[in-house]
């Protein structure tokens, strides 16, 4: 395998994994606070539409990314208002959020269908980016990629090393105790939900600004749902999200390369590989010694303060 | 005074409403059901262009309605809703609407239904589709001429007859001008997922393809070709705006003439259930302007298009040899029959891929 082909294959794996990493790490924080937001797909597609609209209107990728983030947060705020404010069932509200986001993004993005803009900039460090095999891969990615990995590192540190992170986990594990300790359960959950929305919005913006630089309704094509599955796959641990996203993105992309290289394997079987890998990983994870320790204990439960 | 003004307004409003209902009752109501958004600049967009052409041509006699983004799995309700609200002719434009259309048609024998790309008919259900493979033969020829690496990439969706016939017609076109051409196929297993389609195109480009052809619905593969400085073709609709340096042409579905013809048939009472499989000769398949190619290739493409349109050239003319070197039975004598094309599940000779079964 030549240096160029090697890098190209691995870079497509990274581009396929990045939106999954972004959306999953946000949902992970939301879920660690005890909120199950099934509306990732809806927040993501709003981020994709508004990210493109913002970038196209302003001519700036950064402003586009910001618009994507804000759109995701607005959707998350709505979800938070319903589920944390009014204690509505989270599953139902999350599904409604996805349907709402899909429809609204189609409506708001209608004027931007069929337009295109240039792909967002890629990092270039003279010398380093030109190294064989790894130069482009490590030093020449879209800026979003570095943001995604930075976010994972930040979240990992925040959850395990910071005091607020500890409080957030306490909220997700036992909201009554957290409340008794004087922590504001609702405030914590609302902020965690907003963070999840911001990340999903950014993941959507990545699709329209870097992955395929145009907007089309329904273009997230189920990535929000995969991001949700990845959080479970990662057993709510930040770095495993990266592992899962690379595995999933990798299997999807590698099967396309395997077909192009004519290894003679049937496409349908190859397409199923990422899903098979997910099932195998879930079985392995759940057969471990601490199988029930992974999920936040109060996940999906509405909190109503005792009076 | 104030009360009087209100009364007047009310009366005139009622009068207008009555007038418009009376007016509407004279018009034939025609309904359309789309699987995607009309703004997809692809398949559903083209159907809606057909509706708009119908509105323009027969606007004084018909009134059109459309429902977009109708999921195939839950289409009984929307189709029935159209039938209940007085639509006398309903076009359901996606393969998956086949059974729902038949079920609703049974309940409304007075309503005429037209189902696109399906194969089941009834007294009041006709079917129609277009010979997209004729366009694929033309772009195959262009690709065969334009490739420098003799390797062409093909992003395919699902191994159904329409797609397989498209690949075969493409290959036959390419072989007709370049015997040593190779076509590499990647099955994306999706109709619409821009990210995945782009990744498939990247994989093909990495394997030395210098032209990308596609049978998936977004402009992403074409854009990848443009980004890599290579060439490609638009899908279902003119996608020049997405890749002005890469798009050589596009196969454009055109339903206008069919929709106008069938609506006229209902208006004058001549409508009958039948199957329509129209191609370039019936104006159902067009080519977008030929760009990004030298004049001799353009001339060749235009001539091929004219020949197919005039029925002088059939992409599936016999003899045709399949992948294993066996001659395909020529039931029509000169070319494959429509039935053979619409049930195609084998590759022609020279395709280096195993058909997923």
Q: Is beta strand B151-156 parallel, antiparallel or unpaired with respect to B125-130?
A: unpaired
Between A8, A110, A271, which is nearest B39 by CB?
Answer: A110
Asked if residues A249 and A16 have their Cβ atoms less than 8 Å apart, the reply is yes
Rg, C-alpha atoms of chain A: 20
Percent of chain B with pLDDT over 70: 92
* C-alpha distance from A208 to closest chain B C-alpha (Å): 10
- Helix, strand, coil percentages (3-state) for chain A, rounded to 5, are 70, 0, 25
Residue-range domain boundaries for chain A: 3-220
Angle formed at CA B178 by CA B173 and CA B184, multiple of 5 degrees? 70
Q: Measured between alpha carbons, how far is B219 from B238 in angstroms, rounded to an integer?
A: 10
Residue of B nearest to A262 (CA): B353
ipTM for this prediction: 0.85
Nearest chain B CA: its distance from A80 CA (Å): 28
3-class secondary structure per residue, A147-183: HHHHHHHHHHHHHHHCHHHHHHHHHHHCHHHHHHCCC
CB-based contact, A187 to chain B, within 8 Å:
no
DSSP-derived secondary structure for B199-230: HHHHHHHHTT--EEEE-SSSSHHHHHHHHTT-
Of B36, B190, B242, the CB nearest to A214: B242
> Over the Cα atoms of chain B, what is R_g?
23
**β-pair type (B211-214, B151-156):** parallel
B20, two tokens: 């418009």
CB–CB contact A16 B202 (8 Å)? no
- Residue of B39, B203, B352 lying closest to A256 (CB–CB): B203
Chain B CB contacts of A219 under 8 Å are 192-195, 218
Q: Return d(Cα A141, Cα A149) in angstroms, integer.
A: 12
How is domain B24-130 classified at the architecture level of CATH?
3-Layer(aba) Sandwich (3.40)
Question: Which residues in A lie closer than 8 A to residue B203 (C-beta atoms)?
Answer: 9, 12, 253, 256-257, 259-261
| Domain spans, chain B | 24-130, 132-253+285-311
Question: Min CA distance, A138 vs chain B (Å)?
Answer: 19
A12/B190 touch (CB, cutoff 8 Å), yes or no: no
Q: Is B129 exposed, middle or buried (0-12, 13-18, 19+ CB in 10 A)?
A: buried
Q: Residue A216: which of B40, B189, B196 has the nearest Cβ?
A: B40
Q: Is A217 on the interface with B (CB under 8 A)?
A: yes
In this prediction, residue A118 carries a pLDDT of 81
CATH 3.40.350.10 fits B132-253+285-311, yes or no: no
The predicted pLDDT at position B217 comes to: 85
pLDDT tens, position by position, B314-354 = 999 989 999 988 889 887 778 999 889 988 999 999 888 88
Q: How far is B295 from chain A (nearest CA, A)?
A: 28
Cβ proximity of B147 and B210 under 8 Å: yes
| Residue numbers of chain B with a pLDDT score lower than 70 | 1-25, 40, 357
pLDDT of B237: 85
Cα A171 off chain centre by? 22
Distances from the Cα of A129 to the Cα of A18, B256, B351, angstroms: 19, 52, 39
Q: Is it the case that residue A290 has pLDDT exceeding 80? A: no
- Degrees, nearest 5: CA angle A107-A113-A115: 145
> What pLDDT score does B357 carry?
64
């Amino acid at each position: 395998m030549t240096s160029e082909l090697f890098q190209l294959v691995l870079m497509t794996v990274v581009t396929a994994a990045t939106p999954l990493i972004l959306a999953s790490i946000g949902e992970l924080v939301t879920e660690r606070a005890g909120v199950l937001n099934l509306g990732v797909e809806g927040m993501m597609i709003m981020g994709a539409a508004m990210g493109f609209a913002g970038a196209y209107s302003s001519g700036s990728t950064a402003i586009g990314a910001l618009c994507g983030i804000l759109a995701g947060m607005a959707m998350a705020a709505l979800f938070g208002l319903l589920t944390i404010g009014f204690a509505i069932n989270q599953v139902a509200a999350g599904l409604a959020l996805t349907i709402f986001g899909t429809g609204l993004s189609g409506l708001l993005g209608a004027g931007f269908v069929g337009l295109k803009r240039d792909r967002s900039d890629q990092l270039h460090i003279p010398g380093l980016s030109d190294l064989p095999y790894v130069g482009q891969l490590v030093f020449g990615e879209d800026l979003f990629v570095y943001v995604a990995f930075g976010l994972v590192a930040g979240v990992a540190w925040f959850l395990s090393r910071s005091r607020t992170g500890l409080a957030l986990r306490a909220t997700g594990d036992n909201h009554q105790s957290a409340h008794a300790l004087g922590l504001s359960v609702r405030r914590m959950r609302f902020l965690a939900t907003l963070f999840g929305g911001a990340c999903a919005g950014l993941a959507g913006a990545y699709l329209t600004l870097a992955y395929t630089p145009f907007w089309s309704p329904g273009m997230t094509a189920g990535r929000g749902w995969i991001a949700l599955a990845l959080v479970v796959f990662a057993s709510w641990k930040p770095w495993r999200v990266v592992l899962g996203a690379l595995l999933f993105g990798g299997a999807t992309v590698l099967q396309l390369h395997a077909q192009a290289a004519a290894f003679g394997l049937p496409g349908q079987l190859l397409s199923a590989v990422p899903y098979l890998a997910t099932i195998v990983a879930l079985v392995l994870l759940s057969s471990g010694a601490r199988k029930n320790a992974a999920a936040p204990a109060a996940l999906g439960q509405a909190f109503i303060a005792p009076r | 005074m104030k009360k009087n003004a209100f009364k007047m307004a009310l009366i005139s409003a009622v009068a207008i409403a009555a007038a418009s209902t009376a007016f509407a009752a004279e018009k034939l109501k025609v309904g359309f059901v789309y699987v995607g958004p009309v703004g997809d600049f692809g398949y559903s967009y083209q159907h809606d262009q057909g509706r708009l052409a119908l509105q323009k041509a027969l606007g004084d006699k018909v009134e059109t309605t459309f429902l977009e983004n109708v999921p195939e799995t839950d289409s009984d309700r929307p189709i029935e809703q159209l039938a209940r609200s007085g639509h006398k002719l309903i076009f359901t434009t996606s393969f998956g609407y086949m059974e729902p259309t038949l079920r609703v048609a049974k309940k409304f024998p007075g309503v005429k239904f037209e189902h696109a790309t399906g194969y089941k008919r009834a007294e009041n259900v006709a079917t129609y589709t277009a010979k997209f493979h004729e366009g694929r033969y033309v772009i195959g020829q262009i690709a065969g001429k334009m490739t420098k690496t003799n390797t062409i990439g093909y992003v395919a969706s699902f191994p159904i007859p329409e797609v397989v016939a498209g690949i075969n017609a493409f290959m036959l076109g390419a072989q007709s001008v370049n015997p040593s051409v190779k076509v590499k196929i990647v099955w994306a297993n999706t109709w619409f997922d821009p990210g995945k389609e782009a990744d498939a195109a990247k994989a093909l480009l990495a394997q030395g393809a210098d032209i990308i052809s596609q049978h998936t619905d977004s402009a992403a593969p074409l854009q990848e070709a443009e980004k890599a400085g290579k060439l490609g073709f638009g899908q279902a609709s003119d996608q020049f705006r997405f890749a002005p340096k890469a798009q050589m042409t596009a196969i454009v579905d055109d339903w206008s003439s069919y929709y106008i013809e069938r609506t006229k048939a209902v208006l004058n009472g001549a409508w009958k259930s039948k199957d329509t499989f129209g191609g370039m000769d019936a104006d159902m398949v067009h080519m977008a302007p030929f760009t990004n190619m030298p004049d001799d290739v353009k001339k060749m493409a235009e001539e091929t298009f004219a020949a197919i349109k005039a029925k002088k050239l059939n992409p599936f003319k016999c003899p045709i040899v399949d992948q294993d070197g066996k001659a395909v039975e020529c039931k029509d004598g000169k070319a494959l029959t429509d039935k053979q094309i619409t049930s195609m599940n084998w590759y022609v000779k020279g395709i280096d891929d195993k058909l997923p079964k």
